[in-house]
Amino acid sequence: LLGAQAVPRSATGAAAVAPLPKGPRAMVLGDWYRVVNVSSPAVSPDGKRVAMTVTRAVESENRRHSEVWVVNTAGGEPQRWTAPSTESSTPRWSPDGKYLFFASTRAGGRGNTWAIRLDMPSGEAVQVPEYPTGSMPTDGSFAVFTDAAVPAPQVPSADPFNTMPAMARPPFDAITRPAAAARFDGRHVVDMNYKNNGTGFVPGRRVPRTWRPQQLFRQSVGDTSKKQITSTAYSHRGAVVSPDGKWVAFIADARLRSDSVADLERDSLARLPYDKVRDEAERNDADIYVIDANGGTPRKVIDWMGAESALTWSPDGKSLAFIGRPVRTKSARIYTVSVAGGAPRNLLGDWQYEPSDMDWLSTGAIQFTADIGGRSALLRADLTGKTAPKELVGGRRQLRGASYDAAGKIVAYTATSMTKPTELFVANADGTGERQLTSFNKDVNADVVWSDADRFTYKSVGNMEIEGWLMKPYGYEAGKKYPMVIYIHGGPHSAYGEGWFDEFQNLAAQGMFVLFTNPRGSSGYGADFTYSTRGRWGMEDYDDLMKAVDIVAARPDVDSTRMGATGGSYGGFMTTWMATKTTRFKAIQTDRTITDWTYWYGASDAQGLTEFEFYGKPWDNQALYDTLSPIRYVNKVKTPMLIVQSEEDHRTPMGSAEIWFMSLKKQGVPVELVRYPRSNHDLSRTGEPWLLVDRLGRLRQWFSHWLIGKN
Ligand SMILES: CSCC[C@H](NC(C)=O)C(=O)N[C@@H](C)C(=O)N[C@@H](CO)C(=O)O
């Protein structure tokens, strides 16, 4: 049943890949390598084609591979447009239809933008320095983009520490120095942001701190020269050119203060103890401006309290739309405002959900995608803001990356549902006439019986409605009882939903029910829901999870004596928290866990999370950091636990796992710790394929051992 794939090495060193049994059958681990992911759809300006990124795992080489593929919107077989020997992704078409640009790092090139010529026969990808990247007017004659006008300060070539590894060099502000540069290869740290999940350790500066404000530049198509149109001490962000090419709208500091002043103010505020009046007051950090596309003095369009993003011109160039969030704890809304100024109009009113992206189509419609709980949909806003947005494409699935043709008639997007890995779809922009354009997962879908899940909602503490799903075990037969494992997501502000997910399928294939919910604190249900757990982590959200367990445990087909729990990151915290509170689970797996919030605060790269959620730094509110730390109650734990942690996880560093492991070991509680090398916080999502699959295998084995009695 396990289906673990042996990967013997051939004489050449490449791993041989064992053939998989034909289906229909349960998922085996080797199926993970067969699932293809489609992302970043881009509709050509004429609406005839869609380009996309197609990503597969190369099992024998323990890596992923991405290519750009193109399919006709009228249908037919998708074609690969980029070389299999290189990595290529995120395609976009030039407005004149002459090029398909994409991101790729290729030998002998500058930067990572490459293009395929569409106006003449061509096999090789080329770089086109005379074709600018940035926001373009309707005629596509030039682009506006932002860049620093001053070069980054260089370390002098005579610097005595130049030969040292970057992390070993004494940073600019350091007092201490190596006794001998050639003999120290450790890490010398002076700045706070010295490590980052994914990037790893970040070397300190060898030169004084400088500011390089982002300026507006323009470049004509067919010309490699770039004209700088602003020269200011503040940065320009989200710059977009008006359809007629006369104006540029951008977002900048509300008082146009220099970047250095704004940063130093933020740094000094950040050092102060938490203060509700100051820290929760509405702030106006940024506003919207317009400037002549050839430069000049900018004019403020609106003074709007909050943070603006996704600035977009109306097709007639008279208005601007933006996504605005008044304060962190309020839902983002779509607003429109006249370029001449005046009050912005809220198009979403008090609609519960939040927009993820937005397009103002040439037809005049404003469309966007939004998470609606665990599903996501394509919607059209009411331009008067009087009625709720109209859902154009929805259903029990997740839609991403809506892309339109120049006429605003066609929309392409990717979609996935519980039993269907991602594929590309196209529809009329009003949502009618939907068609599936790719079937990259046809073979694996034919072999594997993906388990489906029933959606349910339930009322929890304070009458709050919670959304949950129960996935059936593979081979489910009415009248039999099955074990159940609850999955708990992280964030805590993220969400599970209506998409194919390898982790759920992995356990369902072993003959277990998989329960997953979005307790309060999850994203996708509006900001009130998301921030309702502030200062109360592990309290009502724990109740939400346990209520779902109660509901499911009462089913005649669930064996309530064989239940398990698993979760990662904040979900990892929650599993250790559960272990201190209940013995109703027979086994728990805790992933990228957090067991001590004070340790986490010091060791993680994301202090901002608890500074906000716990009302300050540990010394501002030590009682809360302690009360919510599972390690304080570890003497209560009786449940066998599998701990999985990544050696290079700078988000939830190893110390939490180590103290948990040692504490359980000392108390005689069955515990295993698996430490993954060359892995960070994203092992389960973007990690090395062999390690990722190894982890899935261990989850299967752990729960099979404790809940089914076989391994
Ligand atoms: C202001 S810092 C945000 C931290 C971040 N939050 C989100 C929404 O992801 C985060 O990394 N939190 C971790 C503790 C966490 O639980 N991450 C989850 C979700 O990404 C995970 O599964 O790794």
Q: Is the pTM of this model over 0.90?
A: yes
The stretch 265-285 carries a mean pLDDT of 92
Distance 523 CA to ligand 1 centre (A): 11
Residue type, 255: R
- Rounded to the nearest 10 degrees, the angle between the axes of helix 540-553 and helix 570-581 is 70
- Residues 35-72 have pLDDT tens digits of 999 999 999 999 999 999 999 999 999 999 999 999 99
Rounded CA gap, 129 and 300, in Å?
Answer: 33
Question: How far does residue 508's CA lie from ligand 1's centre (Å)?
Answer: 26
Cβ–Cβ under 8 Å, residues 3 and 424: no
Q: Whose CA is nearest to atom 2 of ligand 1?
A: 609
For residue 4, pLDDT beyond 70: no
Q: How far apart are CA 312 and CA 301, in angstroms?
A: 13
Nearest ligand 1 atom, CA 571: 16
Task: Name all residues whose Cβ lies below 6 A of ligand 1.
Answer: 490-491, 493-494, 568-570, 606, 608-609, 651-652, 681
Report which of 340, 322, 342, 341 is spatially closest to residue 332, judged by C-alpha positions.
322
Per-residue pLDDT tens digits for 211-265: 999 999 999 999 999 999 999 999 999 999 999 999 999 999 999 999 999 999 9
Please tell me the residue having the least CA distance from ligand 1 atom 19.
Answer: 491
Residue owning the nearest CA to atom 8 of ligand 1: 491
Instruction: Give the span between the Cα atoms of 499 and 433, in whole angstroms.
Output: 22
Tell whether the model's pLDDT for residue 412 goes beyond 90.
Answer: yes
- In angstroms, what is the span from residue 569 Cα to ligand 1's centroid? 7
Beta bridge partners of 292: 247
- Assess contact for 545 and 574: CB atoms under 8 A: yes
Give the tokens for residue 269.
């505020």
Nearest atom, ligand 1, residue 606 CA: 2
Of 354, 573, 609, 684, the residue with max ligand 1 atoms within 8 A of its CB, to mutate for a pocket test, comes to 609
Is the N-terminal amide bond of 153 cis, ω within 30° of 0?
Answer: no
The amino acid present at 532, given as its one-letter code, is: S
**Cα(568) to centroid of ligand 1, in Å?**
10
CA angle 423, 31, 65 (to 5 degrees): 60
State the greatest distance between any 2 C-alpha atoms of the chain, in Å, as a whole number: 79
pLDDT the model gives residue 8: 46
* Ligand 1 centroid to residue 670 C-alpha, Å: 28
488 C-alpha vs ligand 1 centroid, how far in Å? 13
User: Is residue 239 within 8 Å of residue 250, measured between CB atoms?
Assistant: yes
pLDDT at 3: 36
pLDDT at 267 over 50: yes
Which ranges of 483-539 does DSSP label H, i.e. alpha helix?
502-508, 527-530
- pLDDT over 80 (residue 385): yes
Confidence at residue 14, expressed as pLDDT on a 0 to 100 scale: 67
Residue 16's pLDDT is what? 78
CA–centroid distance, 274 to ligand 1, in Å, is: 22
pLDDT of residue 134: 97
Q: What is the DSSP letter of 234?
A: S
